[in-house]
Amino acid sequence: MLQVDRIKNILVVDDEADLADLIEFYLKSDGYQVYKYYNGEDALRCVAEVRIDLALLDVMLPGMDGFELCRQIRREHQFPIIMLTAKEEELDKITGLTIGADDYITKPFRPLEVMARVKAQMRRYTRYNTGNTQDTANDQIIQISGLLIDRSNHECFLNEKKLALTPTEFEILWTLCRHKGQVVSAERMFAEIWGEKYYSNSSSTIMVHIRHLREKMGEDTEHPRYIKTVWGVGYRIG
């Protein structure tokens, strides 16, 4: 029997009605089902009732802001989250990534840029959930000292303790493990994980994800055992 792909559900949360309507129009035109809200409280109720595949969250929301909304979503769900921010400040971008967001877009933005980011995240998330990979079955598990990463089941253990990784964190760690002993540049990671050229200028995104990974692994930031920084070049698994 032919299997029909399920229509993907996108959550859009932005108190600027015109902007939210515009994003909704483009997403629906591309075949997505859109759940649109103007505050975090209503959005959380939706997340509890609907199987969401990706969320676009504005940072500046009335009441509960986008950061707190992201935190609460991450307690139970691992679908991709893209933060929408009107600020150019690097701190806001880093904050969003640190609390579990996968990407950010600074306002004002072009709708086609939003669509490109959404599609990139959906490709990665679909690959993460279905195990759709070009690696053979023999290449699905990698062990490095006390670190074990299993791509077929999307599980990672450090000294037999399971790590709670987001899909993006898992993909970054998997990419580094696949290239064990090699230095992997931020540009190469973007190409392999996101597949979008415009990410090549956003090395801070990788830096924050790496820092978050190190925290979850209990790494000494000054002398990490596993994820090592090669300054000016990239990262490698030690």
158-188 pLDDT, tens digit per residue, is: 998 998 888 788 889 999 998 888 999 888 8
Please give the Cα distance from 183 to 199 (Å, whole number).
18
* 55 neighbors 81 (Cβ within 8 angstroms): yes
% of the chain surpassing 90 pLDDT? 38
pLDDT > 60? residue 55: yes
Tokens of 97: 């990534």
Distance in Å from the first CA to the final CA of the chain? 47
Highest mean pLDDT range out of 35-44, 125-134, 135-144, 200-209?
35-44
pLDDT of residue 1: 41
Please give the Cα distance from 222 to 38 (Å, whole number).
42
Please give the Cα distance from 56 to 186 (Å, whole number).
24
